Chains A and B, each alone.
Chain A
Amino acid sequence: MPYVAIVDDEEPVRKALKRLLRASGLEAEAFASGREFLDASLLREPDCAVLDLHMPRMTGLQVLRALQAAHRILPIVVITAHDAPETREQCLAAGATAYLRKPLEEHELLDTITAALGARTR
């Protein structure tokens, strides 16, 4: 069963996403900050991560750059509740696989994760 990590500082959001992914047949774990996720992913690397962009202390973009700096290649779906034109480009440039706006359409999210997982297995 593919393992997906969810990184979002907002507890209600990460809880809801974890439920949705688990109900859709994925294994999912949630992390409250970028730092927590980076540390945990060293022990067990997820097959895909759903990463919130705007988080205090360490933003999603900084997580992407930290992964990039460590030469870790991981499919990342960036999600954001505040969409600015330049952030999409910045995220994709920093190695994000996809960029989705909140609130998340179920099909869009699951299709994107599936596509990301497929790209990894290939």
Chain B
Amino acid sequence: MDSLPASSASASAGLTPWGTRSGPVAGWAAPALAVAVGYYLAARVGFAFTLQPYPISTLWPPNALLLAALLLAPTRAWWWVLAAALPAHLLVELQSGVPVAMVLGWYATNCSEALLGAGLVRAFVAWPLRLDSLRSAGIFLFSGAFVAPIVSSFLDAALVSLVGWGERGYWDLVGTRIFSNTLAALTVAPLILTWAAIDVSRLRAARLVRYAEAAALFMGLLATCMLVFDLPQLDTHTAPALFYAPLPFLVWAALRFGPAGTTSAIAVMVVATIFGTVNGLGPFAGSTPQETALEMQLFLSAVAVPMLLLAVVLDERARVELDAREQRLQLTHLSRVAMLGELSGGIAHELNQPLTAILSNAQAAQHLVGNKSADPEILVEILRDIIAADQRAGEVIRRLRTLFKRGETQFQPLDANELVHEVLSIVHGDLVTRSVEVVPELAAALPKVQGDRVELEQVMLNLVMNACDAMAGLPPEQRRIRVRTRAVDVEGGAVQVSFGDCGPGFTPEQYAKLFEPFYTTKPRGLGLGLSISRAIIRAHHGRLWGSSTPGAGAAFHFVLPALRAKRG
């Protein structure tokens, strides 16, 4: 699967501009301007989403925008956020002919709501807030979307009653404000927060097919929402079933496009629903405008909360899996490097041999040329041998470099016999210096297996070295490793590779512990080799096991499913 741009909440690049500069004024000018412009536009949207003729806003986004801005800003910059909103607030509210005292009062209650929500969140979650875990999303929903709108709405309604503006009663005001602000906090604030966390570079790197999928999702969602919420309702009895029509698209967004994709999809649905409702279309038709607004707000909130949490949980789980995979890769690499460290004596041997041949050949040639007894044919032969020895040394280095490298697992068709040969060349020096003889019994024709070359070589290296270690106490002439490959005749075919030694073997009690991490019988050694080897073979859909007759040696085997030959 290619990259998921929308589920990159853990990426570092998505930091808010507040976090990137510490300069006092210049660095905060652009975000402050963004807050002012955003607040103004959000208020215009709030006015547009008003149920006529009774002026009730169904969604009041400016406070949610302030909340999101505060959550993205470091606490020391909060004054700037609130100050930036003031001119926008004055501009938009004074246009609508509201008394100055009321305008200022509303500014105070709007700020108090955002401050209360952001303050509560910050008390529990460190800056910057990312909606990337169930915990942080839960704290955000509770503090920013429930406590703050409710508490501030009591203040707001009290202030309106005090100033004596309008004709609506205290509880009527409280109720209206709570629901319009909660809906905004549930939809607008997460939209801003999740988009702010997006890693733009990953968004750019995404493949065209991902963009096409996103386009299909949003077009489908928009069309469905318009059909359900923006058309005159002919038969009100079908309405409840129709409410569920957009849900598959929201689940699609949560599964494939992460929290940012989900909040965007929720936003599309909210806008389409409110647009229809304020224009007298769609299924929401209460006996009063308040009732209509309330029905719609409850419906949208009831959809937004679980969808947002679903997206966050899925994102969190995907990230945990990614982290675990990364750790596995790191551990595998670490153990491989540790093993190569143990091989270093043998590797020195493998390099010294060709170096000896090169040096002695060159010095022989020097003598021949110096004595003027050089036969050109012999000189050519010497040069050819020097080149061959040099290439052999280069091959040792190449093999090592491949094993030292840390890379992603790359599956490809592999020949087990070839891997055995490769591994035996890598350990050749060690086998020679430890006087271990290898008896290969390789099947003539083996089906290929699908696997990662480096990881499978790591498993074989580990098994060979364990076999060598097991025989360290034997007289040199008895140190023998039998390497066997064979095709296993099972459904679909399989390839078995076995490494048998002549060491003391193991008891059933020892065997029970052999594959446990950090269990080792060697004085030096991490005790990770077999557990990592088994994990590697499992990841290749195979099985790794050991067998032993105590006193008569041990053998370790693994089986990998054969790659089915393509039928042409």
A12, B354: Cβ atoms under 8 Å? yes
B418 at the interface (CB under 8 A from A): no
B331 within 8 A of partner (CB):
no
A13 contact from B357, B432, B433, Cβ within 8 A: B357
Interface string of A83-98 (1 = CB under 8 A from B): 0100000000000000
The answer to whether A59 and B435 touch (CB under 8 A), given A16-B361, A103-B356, A104-B359, is: yes
B352 touches A82 (CB 8 A): yes
A15 touches B432 (CB 8 A): no
Within the complex, the shortest CB–CB distance from B381 to chain A, in Å, comes to: 9
Q: Are A82's CB and B437's CB within 8 A?
A: no
A18-26, A69-77, A112-120: which lies at the interface: A18-26
> Hey, which chain B residues are within 8 Å of A57, CB to CB?
437, 477
Q: Does residue A10 face the partner (Cβ distance < 8 Å to B)?
A: yes
- A82 engages B348 (CB within 8 Å): yes
Name B374's closest neighbour in chain A (CB-CB): A23
A102 contacts B by Cβ under 8 Å: yes
Given A12-B385, A15-B357, decide whether A23 and B364 contact each other with a Cβ distance below 8 A: yes
Complex Cα distance, B388 from A102, in Å, reads: 18
User: Could you tell me the distance in whole angstroms from the C-beta of A14 to the nearest C-beta in chain B?
Assistant: 9
Q: Is A111 an interface residue (CB 8 A)?
A: no
> Is there an interface contact between A82 and B345, defined as CB atoms closer than 8 Å?
yes
Contact string against B for A residues 4-37, beta-carbon threshold 8 Å, 1 for contact and 0 otherwise: 0000011011011101101110000000000000
CB neighbours of B385 from chain A (8 A): 12, 15-16
B367 with A24: CB separation less than 8 A: yes
A102 touches B364 (CB 8 A): no
Given contacts A57-B477, A81-B352, A82-B429, contact A16 B360 (CB under 8 A): yes
Q: Are A102 and B353 in contact (CB under 8 A)?
A: yes
B368 at the binding interface (Cβ < 8 Å): yes
- Bound: A9/B348 CA distance, A: 17
Tally B residues with Cβ within 8 Å of A: 34
Query: What residues of B have a CB within 8 angstroms of the CB of A82 in the complex?
Result: 345-346, 348-349, 352, 429, 432-433
CB of A4, distance to nearest CB on chain B (Å): 13
Asked if A81 meets B364 with Cβ closer than 8 Å, knowing A19-B382, A104-B359, the reply is: no
Give the docked Cα–Cα distance between A17 and B282 (Å): 95
- Contact string against A for B residues 381-392, beta-carbon threshold 8 Å, 1 for contact and 0 otherwise: 010010011001
Q: How distant is the Cα of A82 from the Cα of B428 in the complex, in angstroms?
A: 12
A15 contact set on B, CB distance < 8 A: 357, 385
Bound together, the chains give a CA A55 to CA B358 distance in angstroms of 20
Number of interface residues of A (CB under 8 A): 26
User: With the chains together, A60 CA to B357 CA distance in Å?
Assistant: 19
CB contacts (< 8 Å) of B346 on chain A: these are 82
Cβ proximity bits B334-365 to A, threshold 8 Å, 1 near / 0 not: 00000000000110111011111111110111
> Bound complex: CA of A50 vs CA of B134, how far in Å?
73
Cβ-neighbour of B356 out of A23, A24, A55, A81 (below 8 A) = A81
A13, A17, A22, A62, most chain B CB atoms within 10 A: A13
Is the pair A62, B353 in contact by a Cβ cutoff of 8 Å? no
Contact residues, B143-184 vs A (CB, 8 A): none
Q: How far is the CA of A57 from the CA of B432 in the complex (A)?
A: 10
Indicate if the CB atoms of B355 and A103 lie closer than 8 Å.
Answer: yes
Q: Which residues of B contact A103 (CB under 8 A)?
A: 352, 355-356, 358-360
Complex interface bits, B364-403 against A, C-beta within 8 A gives 1, otherwise 0: 1101100100000010001001001100100000000000
B286 interface residue, CB < 8 Å from A?
no
Measured between beta carbons, the chain A residues less than 8 angstroms from B368 are 23
Q: Which residues of A contact B360 (CB under 8 A)?
A: 13, 16-17, 19-20, 103-104, 106
B476 touches A59 (CB 8 A): yes
For B367, the chain A residues whose CB sits under 8 A away are: 20, 23-24
Cα separation A23 to B352 with both chains bound (whole Å)? 22
Which residues of chain B are within 8 angstroms of A62 by Cβ–Cβ distance?
A: 476
6 interchain pairs, CB-CB under 8 A: A10-B357, A15-B385, A16-B360, A19-B364, A84-B345, A106-B360
Which A residues have a C-beta under 8 Å from some C-beta of B? Answer: 9-10, 12-13, 15-17, 19-20, 22-24, 54-57, 59, 62, 81-82, 84, 101-104, 106
**What 10 pairs across the A-B complex have the smallest Cβ distances?**
A23-B367, A81-B352, A16-B360, A19-B364, A12-B357, A82-B349, A20-B364, A82-B433, A102-B356, A103-B356
